[in-house]
């Protein structure tokens, strides 16, 4: 397995960061890929327009867990606008690449983040 994946992917898979849920999250994004069975739920906590915390729960392959872990690290401390700029490609690049057959996993991580931000924005439209 380590021959196919970069050291960063293996590190985030074996030592995932920010696993769990956030109580009273500002936004939650859930995505899944019916082809591979991966399911990701991403929680964000936003204060003053900045993502203060991000946690995830993922059911899936090693690449799905690694991309979930990496996206939580990438987004902390970023404004909503900055976080929206995180792309599927950026997540894969931050992990020093993914095998072609696992690129769909990085798509899930960025998609889950964008859905969590969308959830946050929708909640705040109603509140204002």
Which CATH number goes with the domain that contains 93? 3.90.1010.10
Contact by Cβ (8 Å): 108, 67: yes
Structure tokens at 75: 């987004």
Whether 1 has a pLDDT exceeding 70, the answer reads no
> Which segments of the chain are extended strands (E)?
27-33, 38-47, 50-59
Exposed / middle / buried, residue 97 (Cβ in 10 Å: 0-12, 13-18, 19+): middle
Has residue 91 been placed in a domain? yes
Show the domain range for 108: 7-119
Q: Evaluate whether residue 108 is within a structural domain.
A: yes
Asked whether residue 60 is assigned to any structural domain, the reply reads yes
pLDDT in tens, 67-115: 999 999 999 999 999 999 999 899 999 999 988 888 776 678 999 999 9
Give the tens place of pLDDT for each residue, 23-52: 999 999 999 987 778 899 999 999 999 999
Q: Which of these is catalytic: 36, 50, 61, 90? A: 36
- Coil, helix or strand for 18? coil
For residue 72 the two structure tokens come to 């939580």
Overall number of domains in the chain: 1
Instruction: Give me 21's structure tokens.
Output: 């849920």
Any catalytic annotation for residue 54? Answer: no
Annotated catalytic residue: which of 74, 91, 92, 105? 105
Does 126 fall in a domain?
Answer: no
Quick check: is 124 in a domain?
Answer: no
What is the pTM (predicted TM-score) of this model? 0.91
For residue 57, tell me if it sits in a domain.
yes
């Amino acid at each position: 397995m380590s021959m196919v994946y970069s050291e960063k992917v293996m590190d985030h898979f074996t030592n995932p960061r920010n696993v769990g849920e956030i109580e009273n999250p500002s936004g939650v994004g859930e995505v899944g890929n019916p082809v591979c069975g991966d399911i990701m739920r991403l929680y964000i906590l936003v204060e003053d327009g900045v993502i203060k915390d991000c946690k995830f729960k993922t059911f899936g392959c090693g690449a799905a867990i690694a991309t979930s872990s990496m996206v939580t690290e990438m987004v902390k401390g970023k404004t909503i606008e900055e976080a929206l700029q995180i792309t599927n490609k950026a997540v894969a690049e931050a992990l020093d690449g993914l095998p072609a057959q696992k690129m769909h996993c990085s798509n899930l991580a960025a998609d889950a983040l964008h859905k969590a931000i969308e959830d946050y924005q929708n909640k705040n439209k109603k509140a204002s």
